[in-house]
Amino acid sequence: MTNIDKGLLHRAFSVFLFDDQNRLLLQQRAEEKITFADMWTNTCCSHPLNIPGETGSTLPESIEGAKRAAQRKLEHELGIKPEQVPIEKFHFLTRIHYKAPSDGKWGEHESKSSFSLAYSFSLFSAALLPI
């Protein structure tokens, strides 16, 4: 929490993936995670990497970079291919300043872009909850 308490921020994103019946796909974080282990969370959240395509010096460029990062993580975590979730289907919701301690030692301090997106999927039906 020392770095967080210094006011240092890092970039992040959150994805809220809905099916064609407006059900939100949730996931449970792995117990091995150092922050918020075993907690239920939105479909996917992570951080853009400092690589071409995921960075940007302006807000629009930063948002596009976060969308590309979200595509990468949706494939990595859920096996959803980028062509199944095209960039133009990501709807920018907002950008928030997010600060949350996890266990007292670790936590998050982020500038987070949030996106919603509709996707027709039949996997994970047991985890789908009506909203």
Residues known to be catalytic: 45, 110
User: Dihedral (C-alpha) 44, 48, 53, 58: value to the nearest 10 degrees?
Assistant: 110
- Whether residue 64 contacts residue 56, with contact meaning beta carbons closer than 8 Å, is answered with yes
**Cβ neighbours of residue 4 closer than 8 Å, sequence gap 6 or more:** 99, 101, 107, 108, 109
R_g (Cα) of the chain, nearest Å: 15
